[in-house]
Chain A
């Protein structure tokens, strides 16, 4: 079953006179329960794509359906409701509230769903231990490291068990050990709870944890790789190869 479907989407920034087209007629389909990676050079529009897919930003043109519902035409309020209940985010910038402690930040999505306090407490303890942030639960974001912030942000995305998780470079600030911990956690959520994951990354190792990788270039899908029955190692080499063909940083036009 297709959970997320975007066809022919355009997105441009700026005004009439100074327009920059970032997405140019891009198509994408995500199956339910899939773990999808999006790769591409810096500035190629990955964050932009994630934003429009997750209804945070609006497309200039095109259609996006989540669970069969067209979200392009939806009202602001409906969209918010939708995000609250069904989506989880790990942003590229950590996006933690500096007025809240780590624990309060993580529990934020639960306050909406009116989860009983005891259950929330239990979920938090479990998740925080797994992600290694339990010890710092009473600290404020400006008292912890970048990697800790990223893990906190991940915990916040997982805690309410959303049906789709959007992650923008979730391992960018992590050492290889905590990175693979986090990726394992993502994989675990994906396998066990059938959570759909859409992840943007620069890191081929991270991408190799997923089941499919899409490469973006010039605002369109350049190519894609399926893991199929390959081992992670083999998949990793495929990704490396494709990335080499694709080249590095995209030049401004």
Chain B
């Protein structure tokens, strides 16, 4: 048989093995090509200029190459391992390693480059979709048209050819160390030996590293690290200690716990433990690295997605907090002109007029340990906006009490309030002591009055007393806030168009205008980050899934034995579910925890809201990630079913 015939024979026979590899390849190419096409699209030029996006995009494409590279290497590693027997057999019949390598290379070449072409086509179609999404998030009204970019094509070809070379090198190395003996050996050798004290110490050390990383991250922006250099060092330290800690955790702690658990059983394992515990332990050494990678990548993805969603989410929230209505005015006349225009167009609205005065307040007794030097204010006499309770429908206060409202998570980071206490409002002459009841989230007046500080609500009688005793020096341009709510949600846009064409005497704001401005500013970065985050999610999910397919095939003989012994498919499946809960669950939980601390340390640079967007991202991520877990269980189910 000539070598060409051999190549085609094995190509045909291996199609089942290849399909996974081909899928991985097409997916990676499509992802990369669509991103690069976008990068070279003229429609993006404008945006790149505005937000230093060029650098962001370039950084992102480098990261993309890294993750795509890792992904392909991994797929290839599984794939070549599947064929190690075949390679041994070729050697046995007297083929030289060089010849085998040439055969594999030729075979691979055909597949690699045909997948590359398919991937490029899919990627091109995908890039149009991406552009449409990008326009949507940045609030740009344009039709997504894309031209096929030669530059993108060349770049993709070059990048993937380089990856191809590396993969070939890897194969070369693999074949080199492959002996005929491996043909006869059981696929994998045992990885569990006696767990030593050293291993236990490593596990504990890992936990300590992770916790240290968390601790430093919580101190990151507390002012302990003053210079940029120190900050970078601290970040590098956190990253390093958490990642290494995770690795040690898997390698030491998990192995150790498993070992103890198994030892306690004294050799008496039930079917669930056979399929989960012992199978996991059997591969713990090689899995520790993989699980660490998955955990890190998940943490990165969740962190990035959270941050970008925080900024996107905050855009709407910030706008709402800034305006406290759909439109806000500081001048009765401006408001009147606008409402008349609304009436003319037949747009229904509600008007809310609130008197706002600025009063100095002594907040020292309700603030938690604050270093006022950062904020540059005198906490004993800080000007705050005050409104009367009768202007707020839902609130009625007795004269000796006060409620604060409208406070951003972000300010709370620097200036946390206590649950209750005493404050003093200082007019020009008299001071009024009030019992502080707490802090609410709602915003009643616009940013032009609050500057991000909470609004103080007091009883009507107190308000009148303060108003008489007002200090004119600290008042804003106006002491009246007029908020316009458009009753019909769909007409807000129309009203905004009108708002844009009018000129006003005093500052006036439109919620929609603020949102689109925010989105325009942060949209591109957000988009890139989200794209990377999703890529991370899909690649890490795929890698884990591939790994599980690999394990499933390795373990199929075990399922055969167990079924021969009389265990039902259901028995086996429940054991597998336990194992998958670990394989997918532990990296997810650790990843969530890592990302929580990462986001926690610096989210306030990205937006004003932490919990809602972060929890949303975490939930969605968990759901998407679980899909891969479920897929893998289904795959095992198939393996078990076919085992007998």
Contact = CB atoms under 8 A, between A and B. Distances in A.
Contacts of B269: 100, 104, 107-108, 111
A173 interface: no
Contacts of B563: 80
Residue in B269, B281, B562, B644 with the greatest tally of chain A CB atoms within 10 Å: B269
A116 B334 CA distance: 87
A168 to B, nearest CB: 11
Given A99-B558, A104-B278, A140-B190, A111 B271 contact: yes
Max count, chain B CB within 10 A of own CB: residue among A84, A100, A109, A137 = A100
B235 to A, nearest CB: 41
Given A99-B282, A100-B269, A101-B267, A112 B564 contact: no
Interface string B166-210: 000000000000000000011011101000000000000000000
B565 interface: yes
Given A108-B274, A112-B566, A97 B561 contact: yes
Nearest to A94: B561
B616 interface: no
Given A56-B644, A99-B274, A142-B190, A80 B267 contact: no
Interface in B246-295: 266-271, 274, 278-279, 281-282
A105 B180 CA distance: 29
Contacts of A77: 568, 570
A117 B266 contact: yes
Nearest to B568: A80
Contacts of B555: 99
B190 A87 contact: no
B565 A84 contact: yes
A253 to B, nearest CB: 27
Contacts of B564: 56, 83, 89, 91, 95
Interface string A78-121: 01111111010101000111111101101111111000010011
B567 interface: yes
Contacts of A83: 564-566
B267 A97 contact: no
A81 B566 CA distance: 6
Contacts of B189: 142
Nearest to B558: A97
A70 interface: no
The SS class assigned to the A binding surface is helix
Contacts of A97: 274, 278, 558, 561-562
Interface string B310-324: 000000000000000
A143 interface: yes
Interface in B206-262: none
Contacts of B278: 97, 99-100, 104
A155 B40 CA distance: 69
A124 interface: yes
Nearest to A106: B267
Contacts of A56: 564, 644
B194 to A, nearest CB: 9
Contacts of A82: 566
Interface string A112-151: 1000010011001000000000000100111100000000
Interface residues of B, number: 31
Given A97-B561, A143-B190, A104 B566 contact: no
A99 B566 contact: no
Contacts of B567: 80, 84, 112
B279 to A, nearest CB: 5
Contacts of A91: 561, 564
A104 B192 CA distance: 14
Contacts of A80: 563, 566-568
Contacts of A101: 267
Contact of B268 (A81, A87, A111, A140): A111
Contact of A95 (B266, B268, B561, B568): B561
Contact of A98 (B266, B558, B566): B558
B268 A110 contact: yes
Contacts of A108: 269, 274, 565
Nearest to A114: B270
Given A107-B269, A108-B269, A137-B267, A100 B565 contact: no
A100 B185 CA distance: 17
Interface in A151-198: none
Contact of A87 (B271, B274, B562, B566): B566
B270 A98 contact: no
Given A80-B566, A83-B566, A97-B274, A107 B267 contact: yes
Contacts of A137: 267
A124 B563 CA distance: 22
A137 B190 CA distance: 15
A98 B268 contact: no
B70 to A, nearest CB: 28
A99 B562 CA distance: 12
A100 B566 contact: no
Nearest to B277: A99
Contacts of A109: 565
A100 B190 contact: no
Nearest to B559: A97
B220 to A, nearest CB: 43
A120 B644 CA distance: 28
B571 to A, nearest CB: 8
A100 B562 CA distance: 12
A84 B270 CA distance: 13
Interface in A43-61: 56
A85 B268 contact: no
B558 to A, nearest CB: 5
A108 B271 CA distance: 8
A198 B278 CA distance: 32
Nearest to A91: B564
Most chain A beta-carbon contacts within 10 A, residue among B192, B268, B644: B268
A103 B266 CA distance: 9
A107 B600 CA distance: 50
A77 B644 CA distance: 13
Contacts of B565: 83-84, 89, 108-109
A144 B542 CA distance: 36
A235 B186 CA distance: 40
Nearest to B273: A111
Contacts of A95: 560-561, 564
Nearest to A143: B190
Contacts of A84: 565-567
Chain A CB within 10 Å — which of B186, B190, B555, B644 has the most?
A: B190
Nearest to A116: B268
B59 to A, nearest CB: 44
A57 B518 CA distance: 68
A137 B267 CA distance: 9
The 7 closest A-B pairs by CB, nearest first: A84-B566, A83-B566, A103-B267, A99-B282, A111-B270, A99-B278, A80-B568
7 contacts: A80-B568, A97-B558, A99-B279, A104-B267, A106-B267, A111-B269, A142-B190
Interface of B: 185-186, 188-190, 192, 266-271, 274, 278-279, 281-282, 555, 558, 560-570, 644
Given A117-B266, A117-B268, 16 more contacts: A80-B563, A80-B567, A83-B566, A84-B565, A87-B566, A89-B564, A89-B565, A95-B561, A97-B558, A100-B269, A100-B274, A104-B267, A104-B269, A107-B267, A108-B565, A109-B565
